[in-house]
Structure 1
Amino acid sequence: MTILVTGGDGYVGWPAALRIADRTDDRVLLVDNFGRREWVEETGATSATPVASIDERLEAAREVHGLDNISFVEGDLVEKSFVDELLQVHEPETIIHAAAQPSAPYSQINGERANYTQHNNMQATRNLLWGLEEHDLTDTHFVETTTTGVYGAPEFPIPEGGATMENQGERDDVPFPAMAGSWYHLTKSHDAANMRLAHKQFDIPVSDVRTAIVYGTETAETREDDRLKTRFDFDYYFGTVTHRFCAQAVAGYPVTVYGKGEQRKPFVSLEDAVEGLAQLAVADLDDRPEGLTVYNQVTRAISIVEIAETIADVGSEFDLDVAVEHFENPRDEDETHKMEIEDDRYADLIGEQAQTFEDGVQDIFETLTRYADTIEAHEDRFLPGVLEESED
């Protein structure tokens, strides 16, 4: 049996692949085109943690964890011929689809990058779904990490997937409307719709894992050897808010909160995100979802100001004098939005939450303080820069 992990060189994909390989005797095949490394380099940024080559990573997985069931193939999922060959040769029982251009700010730079993001993300997903149909693999469990960003920021509690609509006295359950706020997030709205259609037309079992903002530097598997570390981006384009704030603290900058900062966002630790994907990947045929199941991969909604204050408190344990400063908000957003999001289905999947936000920040500082020089050398990347357009 084969479990395919796309985006296997990525921030979530790599540690997820390690966890999955450790939980099963099945072959775990990673696929990636190293796009994330290229996009970050293009913006003039870098990962704070050194990212080993894929060969070094696989060697460490074998040496440290005895994982002889993990391998890698390089390829671009946008190319249908590659996807067709991949599915024909390996016939995966499960696909963990974590490959995407994942940055909303990157997708917003200009039309070229918006077009690239949408073509890259949506074409890859369509190629995989149609490939399963065309190669008689419709029993394959298709699991995709989409995003909680497809919901936008409604005033009512966000359900785990669908919504109930009432019109002229009649009620029905319908897919949650696409309320994405960026060209990247909209790709995941389209993916959700395409997965729903593929399930309806091809009867493919689908798990739509709507991933919150992920924070953290380590999982149980990656902390054993530096060659197993996953990447840690802290720049404006690819660094999430918690990661940027922690990097600012390490570099001696104040943590910058826009406006009141009371708006809440959904979060999940890297450890808990990896666990959910592993549970879905190794589920027995009798236990895995048969239809289309939506999971809100989130353990807690946290306000921006609480993030900043937690980072300041934990930073003091590392002799960091972290100041929290409020600035005028350049964004048009509700600075007091109290997001509520249901996560019962995902909580049942992972069981007890493995890492609190405070523990996650502690983990981040333990890692980042080792690489303070790298952060300080790229501290100009905390803010957006003007990217040079390609000549072609």
Structure 2
Amino acid sequence: MVWEFEKEVEAIKKSLGDISFQDQRVLITGGAGFLGSWMSDVLVSQEAEVICVDNLASGLKSNVDHLLHLDNFSFIEHDITEPFFVEGKLDLVVHMASRASPFEFEHYPLEILKANTIGLMNSLECAKINQARLLYASTSETYGNPQVVPTPESYFGNVNAIGPRGCYDESKRCGEAFVTAYKDQFGMDTRIARIFNTYGPRMRFDGIYGRALPRFIDQALNVKPITIFGDGSQTRSFTYLTDQIEGLLKLARMDEARGCVVNIGNDQETSVLEMANKILNLTQSGSKMTFHPLPEDDPLRRKPIIERAREILGWEPKVSLEQGLTRTIEWYKSLK
């Protein structure tokens, strides 16, 4: 089975309408990761020049192998927490470099902290030198275990700085403070995206990286027990990659978004148990569910208010969970 990634790229380009990055020079840190590689695909297809920087800690070179022969794409293997300089003018810097799986927090807390602080500061310096726009890929985890649901961008959060998720949650919050400081002190053009649970082809299924959704698909297709933490009533905001990349690129490009912090997520709240059942139905798997203790500080609910994205970006998610899961399952099967 051959899985055609061009369908996703074309869907994103169509949803962008007149928004174009043609002839723009774009630096993407974490550009070989799940979302970074899809952004690279779209920008390259729009005839932007893309410089992809990734240390391959969680990104995969295979995600961008198909771009390496192109004149308007270059890959640099580098840890963005180390000093970095790009020759030539930049128009846009997108900072996406960070491990993001809860299973990684225990093993790589320092790397995560550094990526969202020191690494981000290096990206900000690149943008400042070039008078370029900067888009920071932040996260809904800045809200912690929210006491306000649905959650607006104005909510300050409920975060445990010394808990097991603190390295990610607090480094992203500190990253937002860095971006704001550069904006205020140097008059930079910055934008912050708070990304909610995004899924789709190129998500890693292997080992320590395994998040719930790809883990469930892997377990279902291999007729292994579906491992659910807690009772499955906790909710998430599942956004398919095409919707997410559309929102991020609109936020990066539109003049109206300058200085904005925007939730980019699905406002349809779905429980983990409901999502698991959808995967079992779509795969026609005979797997059984097993239930395990809920990890410490695991958020109980996720549901964004996305009125700001609707008003400023003209954005809202279009792909249903069933449609996105079907495409993700097709991709996973194509790897076999």
Aligned positions of 1:12-91 closer than 5 A: 12-23=35-46, 25-37=47-59, 52=62, 54-59=64-69, 62=70, 68-80=71-83, 82=84, 85-86=85-86, 89-91=87-89
CA distance in 1, matches of 2:152, 2:189: 17
| SS of residue in 2 equivalent to 1:90 | coil
Shift of 1:264: 0.8
1:73–1:304 distance in 2 versus 1, CA, 3 Å: same
CA distance in 2, matches of 1:297, 1:262: 23
Q: 2:265 aligns with which of 290, 294, 298?
A: 298
> Superposition RMSD on alpha carbons, in Å?
2.6
1:265 pairs with 2:228: no
Identify the residue that residue 117 of structure 2 maps to in structure 1: 122
Quick check: 2:136–2:191 contact (8 Å CA) kept in 1?
yes
1:253–1:69 distance in 2 versus 1, CA, 3 Å: same
Aligned positions of 1:146-225 closer than 5 A: 146-163=138-155, 176=157, 181-217=165-201
Shift of 1:28: 2.3
CA distance in 2, matches of 1:178, 1:197: 21
Aligned positions of 1:239-258 closer than 5 A: 239-258=210-229
Letter of the structure 2 residue corresponding to residue 26 of structure 1: A
1:360 pairs with 2:328: no
Letter of the structure 1 residue corresponding to residue 137 of structure 2: T
CA distance in 2, matches of 1:298, 1:237: 25
Quick check: 1:104–1:237 contact (8 Å CA) kept in 2?
no
Return the TM-score normalized by structure 2.
Answer: 0.82
| SS of residue in 2 equivalent to 1:189 | helix
1:133-182 Cα distance to aligned partner (Å, 9 max, x none): 4x2x3x4211011110110122322544224xxxxxxxxxxx55655633
1:369 pairs with 2:314: no
| SS of residue in 2 equivalent to 1:198 | helix
Letter of the structure 1 residue corresponding to residue 134 of structure 2: F
Shift of 1:29: 2.1
| SS of residue in 2 equivalent to 1:233 | coil
1:348-380 Cα distance to aligned partner (Å, 9 max, x none): 5363523211111111221222334xxxxxxxx
Letter of the structure 1 residue corresponding to residue 182 of structure 2: A
Shift of 1:308: 0.7
- Aligned-residue sequence identity (percent) comes to 24
CA distance in 2, matches of 1:333, 1:69: 43
1:253–1:350 distance in 2 versus 1, CA, 3 Å: farther
1:329 pairs with 2:293: yes
Shift of 1:282: 4.1
Quick check: 1:132–1:140 contact (8 Å CA) kept in 2?
yes
1:341 pairs with 2:304: yes
Letter of the structure 2 residue corresponding to residue 341 of structure 1: P
Give the structure, 1 or 2, with the largest relative contact order (CA under 8 Å, sep 6 or more): 1
The range that moved more, 113-122 or 293-302, is 113-122
Shift of 1:265: 1.7
CA distance in 2, matches of 1:369, 1:355: 20
Shift of 1:75: 2.7
Q: Which runs of no fewer than 5 residues in structure 2 stay unpaired?
A: 1-23
1:56-95 Cα distance to aligned partner (Å, 9 max, x none): 4333xx5xxxxx5333333332122x2xx31xx2321111
CA distance in 1, matches of 2:260, 2:62: 35
The aligned length equals 308
Letter of the structure 1 residue corresponding to residue 28 of structure 2: V
1:10-69 Cα distance to aligned partner (Å, 9 max, x none): 11101111112223x4322222222225xxxxxxxxx8xxx637454333xx5xxxxx53
Quick check: 1:155–1:339 contact (8 Å CA) kept in 2?
no
Identify the residue that residue 221 of structure 1 maps to in structure 2: none
